[in-house]
Chain A
Protein backbone atom coordinates (compact mmCIF):
# COMPACT_ATOMS: atom_id res chain seq x y z
CA UNK A 1 0.00 0.00 0.00
CA UNK A 2 0.92 3.66 -0.20
CA UNK A 3 1.17 5.64 3.01
CA UNK A 4 2.35 9.14 3.91
CA UNK A 5 2.54 10.56 7.43
CA UNK A 6 2.83 14.17 8.58
CA UNK A 7 2.20 15.88 11.92
CA UNK A 8 -1.36 17.17 12.07
CA UNK A 9 -0.66 20.61 13.50
CA UNK A 10 2.26 22.88 14.32
CA UNK A 11 2.51 26.32 15.90
CA UNK A 12 5.47 28.73 15.76
CA UNK A 13 6.23 32.37 16.40
CA UNK A 14 6.73 34.93 13.64
CA UNK A 15 10.41 35.03 12.63
CA UNK A 16 11.09 31.45 13.69
CA UNK A 17 12.45 28.56 11.63
CA UNK A 18 9.95 25.73 11.20
CA UNK A 19 10.62 22.16 10.04
CA UNK A 20 7.68 20.05 8.83
CA UNK A 21 8.46 16.35 8.52
CA UNK A 22 7.03 13.80 6.11
CA UNK A 23 7.61 10.05 6.08
CA UNK A 24 6.40 7.79 3.29
CA UNK A 25 6.10 4.13 2.37
CA UNK A 26 5.35 3.84 -1.33
CA UNK A 27 6.24 1.67 -4.28
CA UNK A 28 7.23 3.18 -7.61
CA UNK A 29 8.62 6.34 -5.99
CA UNK A 30 9.53 9.01 -8.52
CA UNK A 31 9.74 12.31 -6.74
CA UNK A 32 8.37 14.19 -3.75
CA UNK A 33 6.52 17.50 -3.90
CA UNK A 34 5.52 20.02 -1.23
CA UNK A 35 2.43 22.18 -1.66
CA UNK A 36 0.99 25.02 0.39
CA UNK A 37 -2.78 25.28 0.81
CA UNK A 38 -4.50 28.23 2.46
CA UNK A 39 -7.95 27.56 3.88
CA UNK A 40 -10.56 27.43 1.12
CA UNK A 41 -7.99 27.73 -1.65
CA UNK A 42 -6.25 25.40 -4.09
CA UNK A 43 -2.84 23.88 -3.29
CA UNK A 44 0.13 25.76 -4.76
CA UNK A 45 3.52 24.23 -5.55
CA UNK A 46 6.46 24.94 -3.24
CA UNK A 47 9.27 22.49 -3.99
CA UNK A 48 10.34 19.23 -5.60
CA UNK A 49 12.95 16.60 -4.70
CA UNK A 50 13.81 13.46 -6.61
CA UNK A 51 17.44 12.97 -5.51
CA UNK A 52 18.74 12.89 -1.94
CA UNK A 53 19.72 16.22 -0.50
CA UNK A 54 18.55 19.74 0.07
CA UNK A 55 16.78 22.01 -2.43
CA UNK A 56 16.59 25.70 -1.52
CA UNK A 57 14.11 28.25 -2.88
CA UNK A 58 14.18 31.53 -1.02
CA UNK A 59 12.71 31.12 2.48
CA UNK A 60 11.66 27.54 1.68
CA UNK A 61 13.96 24.51 1.55
CA UNK A 62 13.13 20.84 1.19
CA UNK A 63 15.21 17.77 2.02
CA UNK A 64 14.87 14.19 0.86
CA UNK A 65 16.36 10.88 2.01
CA UNK A 66 15.08 8.10 -0.24
CA UNK A 67 16.69 5.32 1.80
CA UNK A 68 14.84 6.49 4.91
CA UNK A 69 11.58 7.41 3.16
CA UNK A 70 11.84 10.84 4.75
CA UNK A 71 11.50 14.45 3.72
CA UNK A 72 11.18 17.77 5.47
CA UNK A 73 10.13 21.27 4.49
CA UNK A 74 12.03 24.09 6.18
CA UNK A 75 10.50 27.56 6.45
CA UNK A 76 12.82 30.37 7.52
CA UNK A 77 11.79 33.74 8.95
CA UNK A 78 8.21 32.63 9.49
CA UNK A 79 5.60 35.20 8.48
CA UNK A 80 1.93 35.45 9.40
CA UNK A 81 0.98 34.76 5.77
CA UNK A 82 2.68 31.35 6.07
CA UNK A 83 -0.24 30.14 8.20
CA UNK A 84 -1.62 27.37 5.98
CA UNK A 85 -1.67 23.61 5.48
CA UNK A 86 1.48 22.06 4.01
CA UNK A 87 0.98 18.95 1.90
CA UNK A 88 3.63 16.34 1.19
CA UNK A 89 2.94 14.38 -2.03
CA UNK A 90 4.81 11.44 -3.57
CA UNK A 91 4.63 10.70 -7.29
CA UNK A 92 4.48 7.01 -8.06
CA UNK A 93 4.92 5.48 -11.49
CA UNK A 94 2.92 2.52 -12.76
CA UNK A 95 3.18 0.59 -16.02
CA UNK A 96 1.32 3.13 -18.09
CA UNK A 97 0.83 6.12 -15.93
CA UNK A 98 1.45 7.89 -12.71
CA UNK A 99 -0.32 8.91 -9.56
CA UNK A 100 0.28 11.39 -6.77
CA UNK A 101 -0.27 10.22 -3.19
CA UNK A 102 -0.85 13.08 -0.77
CA UNK A 103 -0.28 13.11 2.95
CA UNK A 104 -2.97 14.45 5.31
CA UNK A 105 -1.30 17.85 5.50
CA UNK A 106 0.22 19.77 8.40
CA UNK A 107 -1.72 22.82 9.56
CA UNK A 108 0.81 25.49 10.53
CA UNK A 109 -0.23 28.47 12.64
CA UNK A 110 2.09 31.48 12.88
CA UNK A 111 1.69 33.53 16.06
CA UNK A 112 2.69 37.19 16.45
Chain B
Protein backbone atom coordinates (compact mmCIF):
# COMPACT_ATOMS: atom_id res chain seq x y z
CA UNK B 1 0.00 0.00 0.00
CA UNK B 2 1.86 3.03 -1.28
CA UNK B 3 -0.97 5.43 -0.58
CA UNK B 4 -2.77 7.87 -2.86
CA UNK B 5 -0.33 9.90 -4.94
CA UNK B 6 -1.05 13.31 -6.47
CA UNK B 7 1.00 15.30 -8.92
CA UNK B 8 2.06 18.07 -8.92
CA UNK B 9 2.12 19.10 -5.26
CA UNK B 10 2.03 22.77 -6.16
CA UNK B 11 0.92 24.61 -9.29
CA UNK B 12 1.21 28.33 -9.91
CA UNK B 13 -0.33 29.69 -13.08
CA UNK B 14 -1.72 32.84 -14.60
CA UNK B 15 -5.43 33.51 -14.83
CA UNK B 16 -6.90 32.12 -18.03
CA UNK B 17 -4.47 29.21 -18.37
CA UNK B 18 -5.49 25.55 -18.34
CA UNK B 19 -4.16 23.18 -15.68
CA UNK B 20 -4.28 19.41 -15.27
CA UNK B 21 -3.72 17.40 -12.11
CA UNK B 22 -3.10 13.69 -11.78
CA UNK B 23 -4.15 11.24 -9.07
CA UNK B 24 -2.93 7.67 -8.65
CA UNK B 25 -5.19 5.84 -6.18
CA UNK B 26 -4.31 2.84 -4.05
CA UNK B 27 -4.13 0.02 -6.58
CA UNK B 28 -6.98 -2.19 -5.40
CA UNK B 29 -9.39 0.73 -4.80
CA UNK B 30 -12.16 0.95 -7.39
CA UNK B 31 -13.65 4.22 -6.08
CA UNK B 32 -12.02 7.59 -6.65
CA UNK B 33 -13.09 11.07 -5.54
CA UNK B 34 -11.97 14.62 -6.22
CA UNK B 35 -12.46 17.41 -3.68
CA UNK B 36 -11.56 21.08 -3.42
CA UNK B 37 -10.59 22.58 -0.07
CA UNK B 38 -10.03 26.21 0.84
CA UNK B 39 -8.43 27.50 4.02
CA UNK B 40 -10.53 26.90 7.11
CA UNK B 41 -13.14 24.87 5.28
CA UNK B 42 -13.87 21.17 4.90
CA UNK B 43 -13.33 19.41 1.56
CA UNK B 44 -15.99 20.20 -1.05
CA UNK B 45 -17.02 17.29 -3.28
CA UNK B 46 -16.32 17.70 -6.99
CA UNK B 47 -16.78 14.30 -8.62
CA UNK B 48 -16.78 10.53 -8.04
CA UNK B 49 -15.72 7.54 -10.15
CA UNK B 50 -16.46 3.88 -9.71
CA UNK B 51 -13.91 2.13 -11.88
CA UNK B 52 -13.88 4.17 -15.12
CA UNK B 53 -17.47 5.42 -14.79
CA UNK B 54 -18.05 8.97 -13.54
CA UNK B 55 -21.16 8.45 -11.41
CA UNK B 56 -21.51 11.79 -9.64
CA UNK B 57 -20.52 15.35 -10.45
CA UNK B 58 -21.23 18.32 -8.22
CA UNK B 59 -23.73 20.84 -9.54
CA UNK B 60 -21.37 23.46 -8.17
CA UNK B 61 -18.84 22.45 -10.77
CA UNK B 62 -18.83 24.66 -13.80
CA UNK B 63 -18.18 23.22 -17.23
CA UNK B 64 -14.62 24.53 -17.00
CA UNK B 65 -13.88 21.49 -14.86
CA UNK B 66 -13.58 18.00 -16.30
CA UNK B 67 -12.29 14.74 -14.90
CA UNK B 68 -11.42 11.40 -16.44
CA UNK B 69 -10.41 7.96 -15.28
CA UNK B 70 -9.86 6.22 -18.60
CA UNK B 71 -8.80 2.74 -17.49
CA UNK B 72 -10.21 2.73 -14.00
CA UNK B 73 -6.80 3.38 -12.49
CA UNK B 74 -5.32 6.90 -12.40
CA UNK B 75 -7.48 9.99 -12.83
CA UNK B 76 -6.94 13.49 -14.16
CA UNK B 77 -8.74 16.71 -13.25
CA UNK B 78 -8.53 19.57 -15.75
CA UNK B 79 -9.51 23.17 -15.14
CA UNK B 80 -9.84 25.33 -18.25
CA UNK B 81 -9.55 29.14 -18.33
CA UNK B 82 -8.58 29.33 -14.66
CA UNK B 83 -10.01 32.11 -12.49
CA UNK B 84 -8.86 33.64 -9.20
CA UNK B 85 -11.55 31.73 -7.34
CA UNK B 86 -10.04 28.42 -8.43
CA UNK B 87 -7.13 28.90 -6.03
CA UNK B 88 -7.47 26.04 -3.53
CA UNK B 89 -6.12 22.66 -2.49
CA UNK B 90 -7.37 19.89 -4.77
CA UNK B 91 -7.61 16.58 -2.94
CA UNK B 92 -8.00 13.12 -4.40
CA UNK B 93 -9.22 10.16 -2.35
CA UNK B 94 -9.84 6.49 -3.05
CA UNK B 95 -11.66 3.69 -1.31
CA UNK B 96 -12.28 -0.02 -1.87
CA UNK B 97 -15.69 -1.68 -2.13
CA UNK B 98 -17.71 -1.90 1.07
CA UNK B 99 -20.05 0.50 2.82
CA UNK B 100 -17.86 0.88 5.90
CA UNK B 101 -14.67 1.57 3.97
CA UNK B 102 -13.23 5.05 4.58
CA UNK B 103 -11.56 7.20 1.98
CA UNK B 104 -7.79 7.45 1.83
CA UNK B 105 -6.63 10.91 0.83
CA UNK B 106 -3.62 12.04 -1.11
CA UNK B 107 -1.56 15.04 -0.01
CA UNK B 108 -3.28 17.26 -2.56
CA UNK B 109 -2.28 19.71 -5.27
CA UNK B 110 -2.19 23.34 -4.18
CA UNK B 111 -3.25 25.63 -7.02
CA UNK B 112 -2.40 29.33 -6.95
CA UNK B 113 -3.78 31.65 -9.64
CA UNK B 114 -1.81 34.83 -10.22
Known contacts: A97-B48, A97-B55, A99-B48. The answer to whether A43 contacts B43 by CB under 8 A is: yes
In Å, the complex CA distance between A107 and B40 comes to 9
Q: How far is the CA of A103 from the CA of B48 in the complex (A)?
A: 18
Complex CA distance for A17 and B41, rounded to whole angstroms: 25
A-chain residues with CB within 8 Å of residue B104 when the two chains form the complex: 45
Which of B43, B55, B91, B104 has the most CB atoms of chain A within a 10 A radius of its CB?
B43
What's the nearest-Cβ distance from chain B to residue A88, in Å? 8
Chain B residues whose C-beta falls within 8 Å of the C-beta of A44 in the assembled complex:
105
| B99 in contact with A103 (CB, 8 Å) | no
Is A43 within 8 A of B105, CB to CB?
A: yes
- Contact at A104–B41, with CB atoms within 8 Å? yes
The answer on a CB contact under 8 Å between B40 and A104 is yes
Query: How many chain B residues touch the partner (CB < 8 A)?
Result: 23
B99 x A42 contact (CB < 8 A)? no
| Structural contact, B103 and A100, CB atoms closer than 8 A | yes
**CB contact list, A30-52 vs B, under 8 A:** 30-31, 33, 35, 41-45, 48, 50
Q: Which residues of B contact A100 (CB under 8 A)?
A: 33, 43, 45, 103
- A101 close to B (CB within 8 Å): yes
| Contact yes or no, A104 B42, CB < 8 A | yes
Chain B positions within 8 Å of A, measured between CB atoms, are: 4, 33, 35, 40-45, 48, 50, 55-56, 91, 99-100, 102-108
Q: Footprint of B on A, CB under 8 Å? A: 4, 30-31, 33, 35, 41-45, 48, 50, 87, 89, 94, 96-105, 107
Known: A31-B99, A33-B102. 20 other contacts (CB 8 A): A30-B99, A35-B102, A42-B4, A43-B43, A45-B103, A45-B104, A48-B102, A50-B100, A87-B43, A94-B56, A96-B55, A98-B48, A98-B55, A99-B48, A99-B56, A102-B42, A102-B44, A103-B42, A104-B41, A105-B42
